[in-house]
Structure 1
Amino acid sequence: MGPIFIGSEIYRGSSYGLGHPLRVPRVSTVMDLCGAMGWLAGRYVNSPRAKPAALHLWHEPDYIAALQAAEATGVATAAMQARFHLGTHSNPVFEAMFRRPATGAGGVMLAAEMLRDGGVIYVPGGGTHHGLPGQANGFCYLNDVVLGMKVLRLNGVRRIAYVDIDAHHCDGVEAGFAGDPDALLISVHEEKRWPFTGALTDDGGSNCFNLPVPRGFNDTEMRAVLEQFIIPRVAAFRPDAVVLQCGSDALEEDPLARLSLSNNAHVAVVRALRGLSPRFLVLGGGGYNPWSVGRCWSRVWAELSGADVPDRLPSTAEAILRNLSWLGAGRAPAEAMFTTLKDAPREGSLRPEVSERIKFLEART
């Protein structure tokens, strides 16, 4: 089975609301760009919507019922807000607040089933790594990562390595799998950033490694983390499947983080992890600048599908990027944001604090 891209039109027709960071078009932009480049032919699969009973694999039935009720009525009661964290600024009530995350979860769970016998699948609408069993958390109403990993297990895939390069720590995934000897969890995230979990010394149980990195974390430093820690640790674990949460909020242009990666770093992680397991599931995640997200996640698909990325985009793809708008842009994007998918490298020094943290994790057994 060749690489598969799982997407949905629900991302085009739904939004968290005008004041929310996730008002920006992300997955729809990736679908449009990859379609314009001719990269989806014969590889695109429409995501199903997970049914409530399927979501009960990890989420509490009362919470799923409340999420559906809030969507149906357009209101989260005071009790829903207090118990389930629905109707908050981070997790607002909106028209598709159940259907949209249930579609993301359905896509990831389908991918996990399809990977039973091996393969590579990309679900850019997945990666909601903050969701908790009975609460919405950090823009995440469900945790499709945990659900997907559990479906892999149901399909006989035992040893799973999960790598997360989102700017925010994967607190929900850690809640789901910390202490599981057959799950390796690696998170590289910005220090002193919400949800303020994932300290260097927090092992969360066996095989759980957290690497908080300082502001300005650059391509040189990510390469060191990848080559000196992530690749050796995942290879030694000998996973049956690798799951990568490929959040793009660690890119320099993102408004909700202060890291300085280029999308070359994301492509390098994808390339390095692909050969370490017979099953590779790649998810989206954070990312709140529509140009940087769309370009990065499209490059990820190009890497997975073996497509050539031109130095200059054809006019059809360029038009997609030029037609994006974003009230939070502040200033006009650089011209390269419209004309190419490839970021200029963002190299820099390998700071002592990064090297020391890598060595600390290397020393853990």
Structure 2
Amino acid sequence: MTPLLLGSEIYRGSSYGKWHPLRVPRVSTVMDLTRAMGWLPPAQFRTSPRAKPGALTIWHTPEYLSALQTAEETGAVDAPTRDRHGLGTNSNPVFPEMYRRPATGAGGTLLAGELLRDGGRVHVPGGGTHHGMPDRANGFCYLNDAVLGILSLRRNGARRIAYVDIDAHHMDGVEHAFAGDPDTLLISTHEERRWPFTGAITDAGVGQTFNLPLPRGLNDSEFAQIRDRLICPAVEAFAPDAIVLQCGADAVDEDPLSRLSLSNNAHFDTLAALMPLAPRFLLLGGGGYNPWSVGRLWSGAWAVLSGQDIPDRLPPEAQAVLRALTFEGNSRGRNPPEHWFDTIRDTSRPGPVRAEVADRVAHLAGRIAAIPRAG
């Protein structure tokens, strides 16, 4: 199957609010930038459908979905709804598309499972909302499209699924859904002592949940060791029918919501290393709160997924997309460096591999032999 990107115009004008981290454009930038690069011909783009509530009840409760739709329709929530379902909070505010927008991301991952029935690669940059819980919004995530995508893949023939999450924040919602499931491998790399404050290295399911909390300042050399000694060997040992990679862009140095220091090469190289390890590949977005770094990263990830070469310098049409972005209310947006406009690939950020990182990787790598093999 020719690689496909699923997107939607709903993201172009939708915002969580003037001061929310998700006020910045993300998916629309990816669509515009990949088209300006000539990487997204019409045959490789599909409009993501909006999932209907009935489709979402494979994991979310009907009561929660009803509350979410009502909040969108009325523009308000009452105190009992806020307390029970986590709607109308600072993290999960009421905004005009608060059901339609996440339902579009979920529709994309549900459709991706169907499109990947016979193999292939699909990118859903509007996906990756890995914090959502069955009965409540959580961490900017009203629905958990990652869980829904895994369930769709399974419904469409993928028996063993590896979920790899390289977002700066722990995959708490996905772990809630699949920890202990012998047919789902879960790997999360995330910054330690950062919300949601879950995902300790000692947290494990039945031999196939790997949580790797990481210290501030994580560099590309350290992540290369994580990729080569833990992520890829664990996925190879699991021998999945499908891989889901949550490619959150908030682990790069420029992101305002983490203190990790990766370049986007860490994401590109991890994607490239994982792609040959399963016949079905679903690439999701996730976190990412600097409009330039997230747009460049997810566009570059699409280039890797679809076999495009990333040039050293962007053509004028692509530069114009990036120069049109603004980042109000953040110090990094006041004087953006020139390479945010004229490149996609960052300069690598190598560094020493600290003992605490190497020791944690070695500790988890020692558990790879216990991964349940395919029956």
- After superposing on structure 2, the runs of 4+ consecutive aligned residues of structure 1 that deviate more than 4 Å are none
Q: Report the Cα offset of residue 342 of structure 1.
A: 1.1
Per the TM alignment, residue 340 of structure 1 is displaced from its structure 2 partner at its CA by 0.6
Distance (Å, rounded) in 2 between the aligned partners of 1:144 and 1:328: 29
CA displacement, residues 134-179 of structure 1 (integer Å, 9 cap, x when unaligned)? 0000000000000111111111211000000000000000000000
What does residue 241 of structure 1 align with? 242
* Letter in structure 2 aligned against 1:22: L
List alignment gaps of at least 5 residues for structure 2: 371-375
Q: Indicate the SS of the match to 1:319.
A: helix
- Counterpart of 1:11, as a letter, is Y
Deviations, residues 5-41 of structure 1 (Å, cap 9, x unaligned) = 0000000021100010000000100100001111110
For residues 176-232 of structure 1, the C-alpha deviation after alignment (integer angstroms, 9 at most, x for no partner) is 000000000000000000000000111144310000000000100000000011111
Separation in 1, partners of 2:212, 2:338: 34
CA contact (8 A) 1:190 1:259 kept: yes
1:253 aligned residue: 254
The 8 Å contact of residues 219 and 261 in structure 1, kept in 2 or not, is answered as yes
| CA distance in structure 1 between the aligned counterparts of 2:101 and 2:362, rounded to whole angstroms | 41
Show the counterpart of 1:169: 170
Question: Unpaired segments of 5 or more residues in structure 1?
Answer: none
2:345 corresponds in structure 1 to 342
The code of the aligned residue for 2:40 comes to L
Q: What SS is found at the alignment partner of 2:101? A: helix
Please name the residue that 2:32 is paired with. 32
Matches within 5 A, 1:297-312: 297-312=298-313
What is the identity percentage for the equivalent residue pairs of Structure 1 and Structure 2? 64
SS in 1 for 2:305: helix
Number of paired residues?
Answer: 365
CA distance in 2, matches of 1:81, 1:54: 24
Aligned pairs (5 A) from 1:1-365: 1-41=1-41, 42-330=43-331, 331-364=334-367, 365=370
Q: Is the 8 A contact 1:159 1:241 kept in 2?
A: yes
Q: Give the counterpart letter for 2:359 in structure 1.
A: E
Give the secondary-structure state (helix, strand or coil) at the position aligned to 2:250: coil
Shift, 1:329, TM fit: 3.2
CA distance in 2, matches of 1:292, 1:363: 34
Q: Within 1, Cα distance between the matches of 2:341 and 2:329?
A: 17
CA contact (8 A) 1:178 1:206 kept: no
State the one-letter code of the partner of 1:344.
T
Q: Secondary structure at the match of 1:275?
A: helix
Q: SS of the counterpart of 2:190?
A: strand
Q: Distance in 1 between matches of 2:66 and 2:149?
A: 21
Task: Supply the distance in 2 between the matched residues of 1:152 and 1:231 (Cα, whole angstroms).
Answer: 21
Distance 2:357 2:87 in 1: 37
Q: Measure, in 1, the Cα distance between the counterparts of 2:263 and 2:299.
A: 14
1:236-284 Cα deviation digits (max 9, x unpaired): 1000000000000000000000000000110001100000000000000
TM-score by length of 1: 0.99
The structural deviation recorded for 1:103 is 0.3
CA distance in 1, matches of 2:207, 2:12: 40
SS at structure 1 position matched to 2:319 = helix
CA distance, structure 2, for counterparts of residue 332 and residue 26 of structure 1: 20
Asked if 1 retains the 8 angstrom alpha-carbon contact of 2:52 and 2:103, the reply is: yes
Give the letter for the 1:353 counterpart: E
In 1, the alpha carbon distance for the partners of 2:206 and 2:62 equals: 27
| More displaced stretch, 198-207 vs 140-149 | 198-207
Contact 2:124 2:285 in 1 (8 A): yes
Pick which of 227-236 and 202-211 moved more.
202-211
Contact 1:180 1:206 in 2 (8 A): no
Q: Whole-Å Cα distance in 2 between the matches of residues 317 and 26 of structure 1?
A: 15
1:107 & 1:146 partners in 2: Cα distance?
12
Asked whether the equivalents of residues 33 and 318 of structure 2 are also in contact (C-alpha less than 8 Å), the reply is yes
